[in-house]
Structure 1
């Protein structure tokens, strides 16, 4: 990495660690990691930041997914099906990324995020208790369509808030508590990251050496975040969710009107 200073590498590694922690708890680590890469790599085209971000993020997400599936009540069969479908959908989204009009989509995303935040605040028990209602086959198919196709395609297309959208959709559709939803979302998020990464790698826009160093810190952050979420439960995940959603809205608003 001869064209990147040691100070920049250190700061990017710290950002990767914190992003891994955020991703493991509730998703949304890209809110921190992608802007850090864009700022730290001004000499590279933005696509390199996007590609390197995915190469780093998939490592922390994989560690978190492994930790959750070993200790949380995850339906592995459903999670793997969602993750496999998400890989294909995210790769498809990445193919259309260059044609997206972000000036139109960003305000729409902000409205959705504000709606999510309002819903979680007004429904304080949402995702904090286990719902004993049986999950029908129709709801499982709906989860595949929304999480495995729709949200995954969005991750390849744009990306911000993917993990958060996954958690909310899994709670709403499958009646999961926040902790189980976050654990399931990690498996799906591995698929979305993999699909997007394959697209960027095919274009040669991944800084692999930098990504390898940052990945070590991202994995550490993901491991710590997953264990904290498992120890503190759904209430903790819900609180972090609100913080991340608020930060996403602020970030998108800044990009839309002040950047």
Structure 2
């Protein structure tokens, strides 16, 4: 029964993650519910062992249909990998309670800004070029990479929002870029958790296959329906993240 529950959660998480990020909202709580006495780092490690495959397949699918600025995003992915590794190490030795309290407030600001700016992410019009774009993308990758390794919920959604707001991407291109960087941050965190012995490999294969299947379906829908569809899903996912993280931070 445990296998079935977490595998279904991984399938749905891959679907949501492929469109706009936020799959951790589904899989991580499912893992905590099914394995309540397990060390959090181990549950995060299981999550990464599945999500890294889903984001990687989504990045590959997006790259076939969306033009990706590899000169800016590959260095940003490397920065994300570095941040993710550092963040995953930090979560094994430092408390993350302050982020638990701060996260719903930050997400509420993101949602409010997105709703007020009706044209946000509608058109793909990068505001930076060359070295400036690379530096900005690397900064986003490094900071969110650390956050992903250290805490994690909503990382993909934060990537999408910052690529839209800071770099002027539309939601579809931002989602494509987010998948590349999120793959790097997931991989870094997975390596660290594996080195620390915080991955249950007996679950990894089944969860990875389910996550990839969900990812392929989500990517197909995002590419078929475009930026407006991704924006709508982004608003729904961020709203759900606010409710879930707010409950965890202040009501539990």
TM-score (norm 1): 0.93
Distance 1:133 1:26 in 2: 21
Matches within 5 A, 1:160-239: 160-239=153-232
Query: How many Å apart are 1:138 and its aligned residue?
Result: 2.3
SS of residue paired to 2:166: helix
2:72/2:133 contact within 8 Å kept? no
Residues 1:57 and 2:37 aligned together: no
Distance 1:132 1:246 in 2: 26
Residues 1:42 and 2:36 aligned together: yes
User: What do the CA deviations read for 1:174-210 (whole angstroms, capped 9, x no partner)?
Assistant: 2111000100110000000011001100111101121
Distance 1:104 1:45 in 2: 19
Which residue of 2 is the match for residue 3 of structure 1? none
Show structure 1 runs of 5+ residues with no match.
Answer: 1-6
Residues 1:119 and 2:110 aligned together: no
Residues 1:244 and 2:225 aligned together: no
Distance 2:15 2:52 in 1: 13
Indicate which of 134, 137, 142 corresponds to 2:131.
137
What root-mean-square deviation, in Å, do the aligned CA atoms of Structure 1 and Structure 2 show?
1.4
Query: How many Å apart are 1:149 and its aligned residue?
Result: 0.7
How many correspondences in the alignment?
Answer: 252
SS of residue paired to 1:223: helix
Distance 2:137 2:206 in 1: 35
Query: How many Å apart are 1:218 and its aligned residue?
Result: 0.4
Distance 1:27 1:216 in 2: 18
1:135/1:174 contact within 8 Å kept? no
Distance 1:102 1:85 in 2: 22
Show structure 2 runs of 5+ residues with no match.
Answer: none
Query: How many Å apart are 1:155 and its aligned residue?
Result: 0.6
